[in-house]
Structure 1
Amino acid sequence: MKSNFGDHVGVTVAGHVAVVTIDRAPHNHVTVDFMRDLADAFEAIDGEIELRCSVLQAEGKNFCAGADLVRREDQGGLGAVNPLYDEAVRLFSAKKPIVAAVQGAAVGAGLGLAVMADFRIASPDARFAANFVKLGFHPGFGLTYTLPRLIGPTKAELMCLTGRRVKAEEGLPWGLVDEVVPLEELRAAALRLAEEIAENAPLAIVSTRKTLRGEVAAAVRAQTDKEAVEQGWLRDTEDYKEGVRSVSERRVGNFTGR
Structure 2
Amino acid sequence: MLAEKYNDITAQVHDHVAEIEIHGAPNNHVSVDLIRDLADAFEAADADPHVRAIVLCSEGKVFCGGADLVRRDGILSGRSTSVNPLYVEAVRLFSCATPVVAAVQGAAIGAGLGLAMVADFRVAAPEARFAANFVKLGFHPGFGLTHTLPRVIGLQRANLMFQTGRRLKGDEALAIGLVDELVPLGELRARAHALAAEIAVNAPLAVVDTRATLRAGLAAAVKAATDHELAVQAELMKTEDFAEGVKAVQERRPGNFTGK
**Residues in 1 aligned to 2:126 and 2:172: alpha-carbon distance in whole angstroms:** 10
The match for 1:241 is: 243
Q: For residue 211 of structure 1, what is the aligned residue in structure 2?
A: 213
1:78 match: 75
> In structure 1, how many angstroms separate the alpha carbons of the residues matched to 2:44 and 2:205?
17
Matches within 5 A, 1:1-258: 1=1, 2-6=3-7, 8-72=8-72, 76-80=73-77, 82-258=84-260
CA displacement 1:56-114 (0-9 Å, x = unmatched):
01001100000111222xxx211327110001000000001000000110000000000
Give, in whole Å, the separation in 2 of the partners of 1:106 and 1:3.
25
- Tell me the distance in 2 between the aligned counterparts of 1:90 and 1:66: 18
Q: Which consecutive unaligned segments of at least 5 residues does structure 2 have?
A: 78-82
Q: Give the percent of matched residue pairs that are identical in Structure 1 and Structure 2.
A: 64
Q: TM-score, normalised by structure 2?
A: 0.96
Compute the TM-score of the two structures, normalised by the length of structure 1. Answer: 0.97
Q: Does the CA contact (< 8 Å) of 2:46 and 2:96 recur in 1?
A: yes
Deviation at 1:171, TM superposition (A): 0.9
Secondary structure (helix, strand or coil) at the match of 1:94 reads coil
- How big is the alpha-carbon RMSD for the aligned residues of Structure 1 and Structure 2? 0.8
Asked if structure 1 preserves the Cα contact closer than 8 Å seen for 2:76 and 2:84, the reply is no
Partner AA of 2:4 in structure 1: S
Instruction: Report SS of the residue matched to 1:139.
Output: coil
Work out the number of aligned pairs and report it.
Answer: 254
Unaligned runs of at least 5 residues, structure 1: none
The amino acid that maps onto 2:88 is: D
CA distance in 2, matches of 1:70, 1:79: 12
SS at match of 1:106: strand
Provide the C-alpha distance between the structure 2 equivalents of 1:10 and 1:104, rounded to a whole number of angstroms.
19
